[in-house]
Amino acid sequence: MELLRDKLRCFCSENVCSDYHVNNTCLVDASGYCFTSLNKDEIFHGCFPPEESGLMQCKGHILSQRPSTLCCNDKDFCNLYLEPNSTTFTEDTEANNYYYSYYLIFLCVIFFVIFIIVLYVSKRFSKSITRNGQKYKTKLKLINSLKSFEFSSSYCDEATTGEALSIFRVSRLADHIEFKSKLDSGSFSRTWLVSWRDQPFACRVYNKMEESLWKHETLIQKPLKNPDVVGLIAKDIGEDAVTGSSRFLLLTDFFQHGSLYHFLKFKEINTDLMVSLMHSIAHGMSYLHNEILGNPPKPSIVHYNIKSRNIFVSPCGTRCLIGDFSYACAYLNDCMITQPPTFANPNPESLRYRAPESLISCDYQNNEKSGKACDIYSLSLVFWEIVSRCKPSEADYSFVVPVHKLPYDEELLGQTPSHQKMYEIIYLKRNRPKLNYFSKSPIISKVNNIIKDSWHHQATSRLTILRILKNLENLQFVDDPVKNKIKDLIV
C-alpha cells in the first residue's frame, strides 16, 4: 500500500495498455499524467511518465496535425472524466487548413503581379532605349548629311528652287558671275542682281563677319525642295575686288516682281489673286513646319522672320515663295538641331511681326510648338497686308483701295519700331491692325476670320498651318457654282 501511495493510477485502453497492466489500469509516478486522447473520432486512455509529460504531449490539441489530447494528475483515474472536444478540433483544423491555403494563393498572386510588372517595365525600358537610340542616330545622320558638303571657295552645289530644278556645276562660281545692281539690304547681307551664263539670278552677299550666318542659312536652305519655298542653287566664297576681303555668296532665283512688300505697294489685287497668294504662302509654310521622314529626313523648319519683305512673288505673279532663312531653326523629333548665331538679332522692321510672347521671353525658340505659333502670328499680319490691298469683285467703281501700309503704322505714327514700343502696343494694349470689313464680300469676311484666329494673344489658341491651309482651299469654291460642282465631284 505504501508503494501505491506514491503512484498515480490511470485508466488505460486495451490497445494502449501494456501486457503487465491489470484491469485497464496503469501506474505512473505522482509527477506523471493521465491522458485522454481523441484521434479520428476514437478515444484512447493511458498515462504519461514524468519524462514524457511535456507540452507536445499534453497540449497536442493546439497543433492541427496532432490528435486532441487532455492530461490530468489531480486524482486517480481522473482521465475518465476528460472529454476532448472533437468539434473544436475539427473546426480549428479546417480553419488552419483554409488559412494556409489562402495564404499560399495570396503569395502566388503577389509573385505573379510582381513578375508581370517587372516584365512590363523591362520591355518599356528596352523600347525606350531603342527609340532614343534611333532618334539619336537619325539626328546624327541628318546633321552629318547637312554638313557633308565643305564650305570651300571652289564648291558649287546643285539644288532646286522655285518651280523648276536648276543644276549647275562650275569650278568657281565667284569668277563667272557679274554683279549688275543692288536689290536690297538686310541686317547682315546685301542682295544683288547678278548675271550668270546670260541668265539673271539673285545673289546674297555676306561679309567675313557674317560667315557663321552664311553657313547657317546654307544648312537650312540646302535640303528644301518645294515650289513655294526659295531654294538654294549654289554657294561660293569670292573676293571683293576693291577691299580684297572674302565675301560669301548664296545664289537663288531672281524674281522680277520682287518681294511681296513691293508687289503690294504698287499693285491692287482682286479676291482670286488674294486667295492664290495666301494659299501659296500657307502651302510653303506647311512644308516648312512639317517633318518629313526619309533618308535623310527633312526636319521641321520654323522661320521666325515671316514678313512681306521675305516673301517673293513668282514670275507668273500668282504665287509666292518664302525666303530668307537667317533666323530659322531646324527641329527633329522635337529637338533643335540648328539655330542661328547669337548675334543674329531681328532688325527694327521685323519687330512689327513679332508675336506677343516673343517680346517678353526668348525661350520660345527652345520649343518647336511655340515657334510655330510665332510663325502663325507673323503670317496673319502678312495676310492682313494682302487683304488690305484687295478690291472685292462685289465692290463698285467708287470703292477706293487703301494704300499699302505695314502692320501697326497707325499706332507707330511714322516712328521706327522699337522693342519697348511694340511691347506696349502688342502685349500690353493688345492692339491689332484694323481689318478690311467689306460686308458684301463673303470671301473677305472669311479671310478676316482666319486672320483674327491666327493673331490671337494666346499662342495655344491660334490656328495651325494645316487648318489655315484647309480654310483657304475652301475659299476657292465660295459663291462659284462651277467650282462648287467641281468640288462636289472631287469629294
Between CA 228 and CA 393 the distance in angstroms is 26
Between CA 29 and CA 400 the distance in angstroms is 133
3-state secondary structure (DSSP) of residue 418? coil
What pLDDT does 398 receive?
Answer: 73
What's the whole-number average pLDDT of the chain? 79
3-state secondary structure (DSSP) of residue 239? strand
Give residue-wise pLDDT tens across range 411-459. 888 788 888 999 999 999 999 998 876 667 888 889 999 999 999 999 9
Q: How confident is the model at residue 151 (pLDDT cuts 50, 70, 90)?
A: very low
Return the residue matching grid coordinates 561660293.
Answer: 236
pLDDT, greater one: 280 or 62: 280
Does pLDDT of 396 surpass 50? yes
In the predicted model, what is the mean pLDDT of residues 76-104?
70
DSSP state letters, 246-266: EEEEEEEE--TT-BHHHHHHH
Beta carbons of 28 and 8 less than 8 angstroms apart: yes
In the predicted model, what is the mean pLDDT of residues 280-285?
95
Does pLDDT of 361 surpass 80? no
Cα–Cα nearest to 12, from 37, 46, 43: 46
CA distances from 136 to 5, 128, 141, 152, 170 (A): 98, 12, 8, 28, 36
In the predicted model, what is the mean pLDDT of residues 169-187?
75
Q: Does domain 159-253 have CATH number 3.30.70.2500?
A: no
3-state secondary structure (DSSP) of residue 63? coil
2-84 CATH fold: CD59 (2.10.60)
List residues bridging with 34 in a β-sheet: 47, 72
Does pLDDT of 164 surpass 50? no
Which pairs with CB-CB distance under 8 Å and at least 24 residues apart come from 215-221? 215/151, 216/326, 216/338, 216/339, 216/340, 216/341, 216/344, 217/250, 217/325, 217/326, 217/328, 218/151, 218/250, 219/146, 219/147, 219/330, 219/338, 220/301, 220/325, 220/328, 220/330, 220/338, 221/250, 221/325
Between CA 68 and CA 60 the distance in angstroms is 6
pLDDT, greater one: 28 or 466: 466
195 membership: H or E segment, kind and range: strand 190-196
In the predicted model, what is the mean pLDDT of residues 457-475?
93
pLDDT, greater one: 76 or 320: 320
Domain ranges of the chain: 2-84, 159-253, 260-490
Architecture per CATH, domain 260-490, reads as Orthogonal Bundle (1.10)
Ranking 30-39, 82-91, 111-120 by mean pLDDT, the lowest is 82-91
What pLDDT does 451 receive?
Answer: 95
